[in-house]
Structure 1
Amino acid sequence: MPDIALLSPARHAPSSLPAPPVTRAPSDAWRVALPPALLMLALGLWGIEREGALWADEAVTYDMASRTVPEIWRTLGSADAVHGLYYLLMHGVFTVWEPGTVPLRLPSALAMSATAAGVAVIGRQLAGPRAGLLAGLLLPLLPSVQWYAQEGRSYALVCACVTWGTWLLLRRKWTAYAAVMLVACLLHEFAVLMLVAHGATLLLEARAKSLPRAKGPLHALPRGWRNAAAAVLLGLAPLAGFSVTQSQQVDWIAFPSTPDLITVGLVAALALLSLRGPGPAVLRRVAVPVLVVPTALLLAVSTVHQLFVGRYVLSYAIGAALLLGAALDRYWSRGLVLATAAASLLTLVVQGPALRTPDSRKEDVGEVAAAIAAAAEPGDGVLFTPVRRRVQILVHPSSLDGLTDVSLAASPRASNTLYGRELPPEGIRARMLRTPRIVVVQDRRGQPLDPFPGERMKREVLAAEFTLREERLVGKVRIGVYVRAGRPS
């Protein structure tokens, strides 16, 4: 039988006691869920093409989804296994819809629309229809939500799974909960942190009800949830174990960026304000762990090995929207509504267009490819260092027409890799020395240098045998023309 204290608002009851059951007509749910879903879909579709611009990770999705299923499967054996399910889903989309920026991003827009609907339904269930509607309408207004609603990556799909997984948690639908959360984890492994958040919610509920914990805190958790969590972990284990062998793919992650730190600070502030804040205690027991736990755990892990990237724990937005919706509901007034609407409209007017320009992402691979073609002359060589910079031409390979990729042994598709198979270090050196003029595509200065032998060889030969003649920046990419020392420009 569902836990009444977890399913019902406790606005007028002490947090340590179950609130009386509240009966709501099922037909009421769609009235709460539909407006947020439509708002999110409208914002997701607004400028979804971004003038055809793609950034590096989206270019990888585009390239992988365009390969055949056997090619995808073989590539996952060497790289990006953690995104395998997402690539297969996108391959299905590209099979029924000609590849392009709209089909690449539309699944994310639809997933965020489902997320907004789910947040509204959860808020309705825990705090009432108005609080649910407000939470659902606030979610699409968060800039990070709009950002990833138009990204050809898995993060919006993870948010949708986590949202509806949370709803199933509240309903005690353990089999469906396990299935949805397993899909979330297979789309991105760090969704497993949400299991910990859900466990924290259940422990807080047990504490509020003063359940005995003589056998330890884990025994206060419902058996159904323990079985569901175990099933998710067992289902994820093969992928997690295999992905460890590809851990070098996250070596690029550095100390959290300033925007990430600002986001973490805002999350912490909202969590602290909500501890004794407005809204039913039962809603806080659900929303605060979702808001805080995954972010805090990933930050803690990053003190040992850098893994923190804000989008990996994007589901914090679900908890934030629930808390903000409850606060607006608690202090509801005409003036507050008008002020919130004005602030939301101002945010959309100021930030909305900027989020949808080609320049909004780190770099447009099309712009980088065009810059390579503009800097090169027929017969030049081109060198990508580190090798992952070859992502810049995955979608626009024609930018290398007439040029020689001096370190490449086999193309990405032919070698079943993300970025191609490179020559051994001595082969790279020999081919570089036979090339009098090379266009080099590399990271901006100050970025971590890859320690691999081939990458060290590229840097050593450039430093010893070549002179930089000209250079330009495109986002975070440097494109330089290097000429053999002693030769005319």
Structure 2
Amino acid sequence: MSVAERGPAVARTVPPPVPAPRRTPVPSRAVVVVAPLSLAIALGLWGIRRKDTMWGDESVTYQLAHRDLAQIWRTAQHVDLVHVLHYAVMHEVFGLFGAGLLTLRLPSVLATAVAASGVGLLGLRLAGPRAGLLAGLVFPLLPQVQKYAQEGRSYAMVCALVTWATYALVVGVPHRARWRWAVYGATMLAACLLHEFAVLALVAHGVTLVVSRVPRAVLKAWSVTAAGVVAGLLPLVIRSAGQSEQVSWISGPVRLPGLLAVAVVGVACALAPLEARGPVRLPVLAVPIVVLPGLLLLIASLVKPLFVDRYVLYSNIGIALLLGAWMDHFHRRQRSSRNTWIAAVAVLAALVPPSLSLRTPQSRSDDVTAIGAAVREEGRPGDGLLYLSGRHRILTAANPEDTRFLTDLALAQDPVSSNTLAGVELPARDIAARMLEFDRIVAVRAASAHSPADPREEAKTSTLRRHFREYGTTRVDGARVTVYVRDRAPAP
């Protein structure tokens, strides 16, 4: 057989060329930082005004930040000492940029963005660039993070500080430089001074180091640093313990099912064979942050109810890391990126309804803007104004124009001059006597409130019952505004 005749047979035995697998480009460090930060800012600015409404806790921040630093400190001796650093920070922010609704909330937006970039860097260091990028992008998408990114309170700032303290911890383990531990301790102490329950993250960090079996020198350095943080926080804890009345509204765990669901998802993600880099594995860092702070707060609630989900907002750092690492693992296992895209689109679609809902006034437990507007609408110049109870005076204090033409019947000394949140009220006898001088009274009562067993509150309710009749009630988000008119034939 000739060579020409054997040619086709040889050609048929040569296998077709196999195309090289397409490798997904690895994101750079800059992308891991900038992309989450940009997404967090965009989500934070989206609908940030919530139709120009404000809720009760934000109203407290707004009012106290308008006072000077000495007044803030004197007020904190009576109430809200745990938030005094935040009020001082917001006072300075108002002084620099003006006191408005955007100024009230923008620090939380920026803090969330800083936290998102920190989560990205944590993921990069613990599980690689793609896992870091995904974790950083997941973090600002989490509904609870979106909610508190648009609130004039300290929770987003605490979350940012805990994020970067965690990053300083992870970086400090292999290097063991003293200045790194000093940075870690200072950042954690700042977070704890903004809100005491940030100290629970310190416990999670300790568990991470023990489980990771780091060298004894590292454990000793962390122990010394943690002791310094606790010592710095202790005076605030002792002084604020006498103000436990301010959390008396907590009768049981607030929004516990959501936190439990997050913990279950986080533990499920941790069971996957996630990529590990360095002496601290990502699941060993993330799971304690997700589980321990909430669990410890629940245990403390057996003695006194304290559990509110926003107090441990920083637990979302752990769930974002776990979800980012799990998605990276899922992507690496898939031969085609089609399934990855389908999963990503499904998750984004599921997040749309809660994201829209969080940007409405109804997403908060009350709306002090609507309450003040109802008082202004129902009241006539010269009417009496009554708060049931007196501590709910803060519900209309954000905009004094709403109550300008009404007479506060129970007020003896205003909140600013008395260095309190709600002012000082008259004795019960004087309140009843002043009420009888008016033919119309506008009464404000929080929707879920029960009047405390106090002589002043009893005088208000008994005088209304005996000498006035209800003319009409307006129900708004978080309160009832009722107009009472004088009944000239009082009931016995």
TM-score, structure 1 as length reference:
0.87
> In the superposition, relative to structure 1, how do residues 354 and 274 fare at CA in structure 2: closer, same or farther (>3 Å)?
closer
CA shift for structure 1 position 205? 1.2
Does residue 273 (structure 1) correspond to residue 272 (structure 2)? The answer is: no
CA shift for structure 1 position 275? 4.7
What does 1:37-76 align with in structure 2 at a 5 Å threshold? Answer: 37-76=37-76
SS of match in other structure, 1:382:
strand
Query: Which letter does structure 2 place at the counterpart of 1:394?
Result: A
> In the superposition, relative to structure 1, how do residues 464 and 303 fare at CA in structure 2: closer, same or farther (>3 Å)?
farther
Per mean C-alpha deviation after superposition, the further-off stretch among 358-367 and 56-65 is 358-367
Say which of 221, 229, 232 aligns to 2:229. Answer: 232
CA distance in 2, matches of 1:29, 1:424: 64
CA distance in 1, matches of 2:389, 2:29: 51
CA distance in 2, matches of 1:439, 1:262: 38
Does residue 395 (structure 1) correspond to residue 394 (structure 2)? The answer is: no
| 2:258 aligned partner | 263
Does residue 241 (structure 1) correspond to residue 243 (structure 2)? The answer is: no
Does residue 199 (structure 1) correspond to residue 206 (structure 2)? The answer is: yes
CA distance in 1, matches of 2:348, 2:414: 47
CA distance in 1, matches of 2:266, 2:93: 38
The question of whether the paired residues in 1 share the 8 Å contact of 2:370 and 2:477 is answered with no
Residues 62-117 of structure 1: CA distance to partner in whole angstroms, max 9, x if unpaired? 11111111221221121111111111111111111111111111110000001110
| 1:320 aligned partner | 319
SS of match in other structure, 2:471:
strand
Residues 290-347 of structure 1: CA distance to partner in whole angstroms, max 9, x if unpaired? 0010111111111221111111111111111011111101111413431233134324
Say which of 461, 477, 480 aligns to 2:479. Answer: 477
CA distance in 2, matches of 1:103, 1:421: 30
SS of match in other structure, 2:51:
helix
What does 1:89-488 align with in structure 2 at a 5 Å threshold? Answer: 89-172=89-172, 173-206=180-213, 222-257=219-254, 260-280=255-275, 282-332=281-331, 333=334, 334-445=337-448, 447-486=449-488
Residues 2-55 of structure 1: CA distance to partner in whole angstroms, max 9, x if unpaired? xxxxxxxxxxxxxxxxxxxxxxxxx94322111011111111111222232111
CA distance in 2, matches of 1:41, 1:336: 29
The question of whether the paired residues in 2 share the 8 Å contact of 1:123 and 1:132 is answered with yes
Query: Which letter does structure 1 place at the counterpart of 2:155?
Result: Y
CA shift for structure 1 position 481? 1.4
CA shift for structure 1 position 456? 3.6
CA distance in 1, matches of 2:144, 2:416: 33
Per mean C-alpha deviation after superposition, the further-off stretch among 234-243 and 386-395 is 386-395
The question of whether the paired residues in 1 share the 8 Å contact of 2:165 and 2:187 is answered with yes
Query: Which letter does structure 2 place at the counterpart of 1:340?
Result: A
| 2:9 aligned partner | none
CA distance in 2, matches of 1:51, 1:444: 21
The question of whether the paired residues in 2 share the 8 Å contact of 1:161 and 1:184 is answered with yes
Query: Which letter does structure 2 place at the counterpart of 1:375?
Result: E
The question of whether the paired residues in 1 share the 8 Å contact of 2:158 and 2:195 is answered with yes
CA distance in 2, matches of 1:416, 1:63: 12
> In the superposition, relative to structure 1, how do residues 349 and 327 fare at CA in structure 2: closer, same or farther (>3 Å)?
same
The question of whether the paired residues in 2 share the 8 Å contact of 1:369 and 1:399 is answered with yes
CA distance in 2, matches of 1:200, 1:454: 50
The question of whether the paired residues in 1 share the 8 Å contact of 2:62 and 2:398 is answered with yes
SS of match in other structure, 1:331:
helix
Residues 133-183 of structure 1: CA distance to partner in whole angstroms, max 9, x if unpaired? 111011111111111111000000000000001011112221111100011
Query: Which letter does structure 2 place at the counterpart of 1:123?
Result: G
CA shift for structure 1 position 195? 0.9
CA distance in 1, matches of 2:112, 2:211: 28
CA distance in 1, matches of 2:474, 2:349: 35
Query: Which letter does structure 1 place at the counterpart of 2:384?
Result: G
CA shift for structure 1 position 429? 2.5
The question of whether the paired residues in 1 share the 8 Å contact of 2:189 and 2:232 is answered with yes
SS of match in other structure, 1:42:
helix
Query: Which letter does structure 1 place at the counterpart of 2:310?
Result: R
Q: Which has the larger radius of gyration?
A: 2
| 1:4 aligned partner | none
Q: Which runs of 5+ in 2 are unaligned?
A: 1-26, 173-179
CA shift for structure 1 position 474? 0.7
The question of whether the paired residues in 2 share the 8 Å contact of 1:55 and 1:365 is answered with yes
> In the superposition, relative to structure 1, how do residues 438 and 290 fare at CA in structure 2: closer, same or farther (>3 Å)?
same
Per mean C-alpha deviation after superposition, the further-off stretch among 433-442 and 74-83 is 433-442
Residues 390-438 of structure 1: CA distance to partner in whole angstroms, max 9, x if unpaired? 1122221111122111111111112111111111223223222333321
CA shift for structure 1 position 356? 1.7
The question of whether the paired residues in 1 share the 8 Å contact of 2:410 and 2:431 is answered with yes
> In the superposition, relative to structure 1, how do residues 359 and 226 fare at CA in structure 2: closer, same or farther (>3 Å)?
same
The question of whether the paired residues in 1 share the 8 Å contact of 2:270 and 2:322 is answered with no
CA shift for structure 1 position 476? 1.7
The question of whether the paired residues in 2 share the 8 Å contact of 1:203 and 1:221 is answered with no
> In the superposition, relative to structure 1, how do residues 420 and 177 fare at CA in structure 2: closer, same or farther (>3 Å)?
same
SS of match in other structure, 1:222:
helix
CA shift for structure 1 position 56? 1.0
CA distance in 1, matches of 2:289, 2:30: 24
TM-score, structure 2 as length reference:
0.87
Query: Which letter does structure 2 place at the counterpart of 1:380?
Result: D
CA shift for structure 1 position 367? 1.4
CA distance in 1, matches of 2:185, 2:431: 49
CA distance in 2, matches of 1:221, 1:386: 53
Q: Which runs of 5+ in 1 are unaligned?
A: 1-26, 212-218
Query: Which letter does structure 1 place at the counterpart of 2:406?
Result: L
Count of residues in Structure 1 that have an aligned counterpart in Structure 2: 449
Query: Which letter does structure 1 place at the counterpart of 2:464?
Result: L
